Each structure stands twice: as C-alpha cells, then as structure tokens.
Chains A and B, each alone.
Chain A
Amino acid sequence: MWLDLSSFALTALGLFFFVAGTAGLLRFPDTFSRLHALTKADNLGLGCVALGVALQAAHWTDVLKLALIWALALLAAGTVAQLVARAALSEPRARKRAGERP
C-alpha cells in the first residue's frame, strides 16, 4: 500500500516536472531560456518517474536498468544542452552561408 502510494506520488511529481518543462518550452521568449527550461525540468521529471516505477519492479535487474536509463539521460542532456547552445550561437552565420532568407 505505502509502496503504491509512493509510486503514485513520485510519478505525479515527475509528470508535474514534464508539464513545467513544456510550459517553459512554449512560453519562454528566446532559444537559450527554452534550452535551459527543457534540459533541467525534463530530466528531473524522468528521475522521479524512474524512481516511482522502480518501486514496482519485480526484479533487481530492472531497478539497475532504470538507474542506467536515468544516468544515460542525464549524461546526454548535459552534453547536448551545452553543444546545442553553442551551435545556436553560430546559427545565424550558418544559415546565411546556406543562402536561406534571414
């Protein structure tokens, strides 16, 4: 019972962070704030969801997999946010080079 209630609370919290991250993605004024909102809120949400689901796992290997999934997501999100932000800095130049309309 307590396990189920904890699962419920954690997944609900995870959903909240996803909704919050998406609100940022929709409402924030520029590319860099949106990047910022997205990479943090989402991965916090994913962590809560993983923890909530781990409480229902039938086998310890599934818990291990959940931990690995979250670790991978964190690692990728940190790297990708950094690199995409830098790519965005040079984007106007790149698009001019390609001959697209400014």
Chain B
Amino acid sequence: MSGWLGGWLLLCAAGVLATLGAALWRVWRGPARADRMMAAQLVGTGGVAVLLLLAPAQGWAALDVALVLAILAALAAVGFVKASTPDGAGAPEEADAPADPATDSARGDRDVA
C-alpha cells in the first residue's frame, strides 16, 4: 500500500464519521422512535465501515471489532422491536393486518410529530 492511499483511507473514514454526525442529529430530532432507532443502526453500519477503513493502518484486528459490532447492532435492533410490542415479547409482524397499508403509513409518521 502506498503512502497516499493510507492518507486517503483515513480521510474516507473521517468522511463516513461525518455522516454519523448527521445520523446523531436524526436520533435527537426523531420524531418517531423508528427514526431514532434506525439512525442508531446507521451509526452501527457506519462504525463498521470506519473500522474497515482503519484496518490497513491500525492492524487487521480492527476487523474483529467490526464483526462484533455487526452482530450486536442487530441484537439491539431486535431488542427494540421486541420492546415495542404490547407485552414486550412479541413480534410486530404477528399482529399483522396488512389490509390497508396506505392509511397505516400515513398514521405511522404524523401522529407522533
């Protein structure tokens, strides 16, 4: 790997990190809980990307951290979905009444603003 590429990878990591700043703004702003949680998922995916970009410069063990982040971010999201069901132990797809998605999607966002 030549020197300029090492510099570029760090710069690229900084760029991805900057997009995570925007994701944190979305966590703050919401308005729906799903917005906050998905923004946290973006912090997870972006964090994985930053770790990959750091790996050539910082040692390839950073990939192990990326693996752990990828698994645990999925766990956090499953935990969120579980906790948002009526008894804390269900799945949102169970209650499914997919009859009228149009009205559902309108309600899903605006009620909570």
**Do A22 and B84 have beta carbons less than 8 Å apart?**
no
Overall SS of chain B's interface: helix
Overall SS of chain A's interface: helix
Q: Between A and B, how many residue pairs show CB distances below 8 Å?
A: 193
Residues of B within 8 A of A68 (CB): 67
Residues of A within 8 A of B52 (CB): 46, 49-50, 53, 66, 69
Residue-wise, chain A 4-36 has the 8 Å CB interface mask toward B (1 for contact) of 100110011011001101100110001110110
Which of B45, B73, B81 sits near A43, CB closer than 8 Å? B45
**Do A80 and B93 have beta carbons less than 8 Å apart?**
no
**Do B42 and A46 have beta carbons less than 8 Å apart?**
no
Residues of B within 8 A of A95 (CB): 33, 111-112
Interface, chain A (partner B; CB < 8 A): 1, 4, 7-8, 11-12, 14-15, 18-19, 21-22, 25-26, 30-32, 34-35, 38-39, 42-43, 45-46, 49-50, 53, 56-59, 62, 65-66, 68-69, 72-73, 75-77, 79-92, 94-95, 97, 102
